[in-house]
Structure 1
Amino acid sequence: MHRSAPRARRTLLAVAVPVGLLLSATLTWQSTHAAFSASTRNAGNAWQSGSVVLSAGGTGGALFAGAADAGLHPGSTRSRCIRVDYTGDVTVDVRMYVSTPTAAPSTLDPFLVMSVERGADVAAGTVVDPDCAGFAPAALAYNTARADDVTADVDRTLADLKGGHHDFATGLQVAPALRPSTHLTFRITYAVADDDAAQRSQSQATFTWEARST
């Protein structure tokens, strides 16, 4: 009885070694091949920002300046037209506002009745007559009628325009959803009010059109 024990242990050991190796190999195979896999990819992605480009076309200088806008008196009136080109590639909100240049006079502001009209859009490179020949009005942006019309609101003056529409936030919304490559036209008109206090007065102004992406 006592002599068979060592033989039995040798037999069990001889069997245990191959079984252990087999189990080890099986576990190794299972850990190496435990999952199927697949992948796909989408290469070549790129991003580029759009641009907002606004310019005044063919003005050749200030709209109102020189002898034609000097020596004014009650009833003096003048209209001037301008083309504003949007050549960016994103949709924008275009607004117009007016300011007084630094250290410039503004005493005539309360006596200049103003109107701003948006005209028909034109093709690129269209020559817009600064004196508004052929201008086709489309919508009023400021005042109830053209400044030289008897139905115009006489309280819509240059002073009011500068005070109420002096930056983008307060600007006249002349083109709220403008598409790329659009060429706008505008007519700006003033008329001097019938008021003796307008004598010996001067004013200067900067008209600004600003576009911001929407």
Structure 2
Amino acid sequence: MRVSPRRGRRSVLAAVVPVGLVLSVALTWSSTYAAFSATTQNPGNSWQTGSVRLTDNDSGTALFESATETGLTPGAARSRCIRLDYAGDVAADIRMYVGTPAGGATTLDRFLVMSVERGQNVSATTSVLPDCSTGFTPTASPTFLFNTRQANDGLADQAATLTALRSRADYATGLSLGPSVAPGTSLTLRISYLVKDDNDAQRTRSDATITWEARNT
């Protein structure tokens, strides 16, 4: 039986088309995966802020109480000690500044010679009594943060009065307690005063709020 030439060509064409489709698909698949790649990772990333925490051993009570610091006369002097515990988890700069409570007086300021001294660091369990009889030990070379000597020392700077100390009114102008402290540091401070021998000091009074503030460095 003879096959028509035209019918034969149709058969050939029909066979060619599927083959072309197969080749097209094969070429497309091959080009999709033609690029090389490699990856690397740094897993476990995490961020957390630190904290600052400052407490003292006097439970927020006054260092100098009006019931005791009353009827003062020229030459009257007294020292009070305190322990500051820094329990943050980042290094911090601690400063002291003095404010005036609402309705507070400042007329005695210029007649009160003041000194602030930093002692040796202690443990957080060390008993530092307010009267300085226990717990406060001066550094090998006394560290005065305000004044050059203790207030009742005859060679103390008489210009270092409460007026001057009160000018340290906020953290920016505050009295630095020294280099930044590490977490877990307990500092000791001794604050002293002396009433000047000046007749104008009669019937004067001063009130103050002492603030200790820590900020991370």
Superposed pair shares fold, TM > 0.5: yes
CA contact (8 A) 1:96 1:172 kept: yes
Once the two structures are TM-superposed, the CA of residue 103 in structure 1 deviates from its matched residue by 1.1
Rounded Cα–Cα distance in structure 1 between residues aligned with 2:15 and 2:59 = 103
- Match for 1:24: what amino acid? S
Name 2:197's counterpart in structure 1.
194
CA contact (8 A) 1:59 1:130 kept: no
Q: Equivalent pairs: percent with the same residue? A: 57
Name 1:155's counterpart in structure 2.
159
Rounded Cα–Cα distance in structure 1 between residues aligned with 2:27 and 2:177 = 76
Name 1:86's counterpart in structure 2.
86
CA contact (8 A) 1:92 1:213 kept: yes
Secondary structure in 1 aligned to 2:82?
A: strand
- How do 1:44-193 residues align onto structure 2 when only pairs under 5 Å count? 44-58=44-58, 61-134=61-134, 135-138=136-139, 139-163=143-167, 165-193=168-196
Question: Which runs of 5 or more structure 1 residues have no equivalent in the other structure?
Answer: 1-5
Once the two structures are TM-superposed, the CA of residue 68 in structure 1 deviates from its matched residue by 3.0
Once the two structures are TM-superposed, the CA of residue 69 in structure 1 deviates from its matched residue by 1.1
Q: Deviations over 1:4-54 (max 9, x none)?
A: xx89x8799578646633541332122332223444444443332211110
Rounded Cα–Cα distance in structure 2 between residues aligned with 1:59 and 1:129 = 12
TM value normalised by structure 2: 0.86
Once the two structures are TM-superposed, the CA of residue 74 in structure 1 deviates from its matched residue by 1.2
Secondary structure in 1 aligned to 2:68?
A: helix
For the structure 1 residues 22 and 171, does the alpha-carbon distance in structure 2 shift closer, same or farther, using more than 3 Å as the test?
Answer: same
Rounded Cα–Cα distance in structure 1 between residues aligned with 2:56 and 2:75 = 29
Once the two structures are TM-superposed, the CA of residue 210 in structure 1 deviates from its matched residue by 0.2
CA contact (8 A) 1:113 1:155 kept: yes
Rounded Cα–Cα distance in structure 1 between residues aligned with 2:147 and 2:71 = 25
- Which has the higher mean CA deviation after the structures are superposed, 28-37 or 122-131? 28-37
Q: Deviations over 1:124-146 (max 9, x none)?
A: 12110211124212311001111
Secondary structure in 2 aligned to 1:177?
A: coil
Secondary structure in 2 aligned to 1:69?
A: coil
Q: Aligned residues, how many?
A: 210
Secondary structure in 2 aligned to 1:197?
A: helix
Name 1:31's counterpart in structure 2.
31
Rounded Cα–Cα distance in structure 1 between residues aligned with 2:110 and 2:12 = 115
Once the two structures are TM-superposed, the CA of residue 61 in structure 1 deviates from its matched residue by 2.2
CA contact (8 A) 1:57 1:82 kept: yes
Q: Deviations over 1:141-193 (max 9, x none)?
A: 00111111111111110011102x11000001103311001111000000011
For the structure 1 residues 59 and 80, does the alpha-carbon distance in structure 2 shift closer, same or farther, using more than 3 Å as the test?
Answer: farther
Once the two structures are TM-superposed, the CA of residue 100 in structure 1 deviates from its matched residue by 1.0
Rounded Cα–Cα distance in structure 2 between residues aligned with 1:93 and 1:145 = 23
Rounded Cα–Cα distance in structure 2 between residues aligned with 1:204 and 1:176 = 29
Rounded Cα–Cα distance in structure 2 between residues aligned with 1:84 and 1:99 = 19
Secondary structure in 2 aligned to 1:186?
A: strand
- Which has the higher mean CA deviation after the structures are superposed, 136-145 or 34-43? 34-43
Name 2:3's counterpart in structure 1.
none
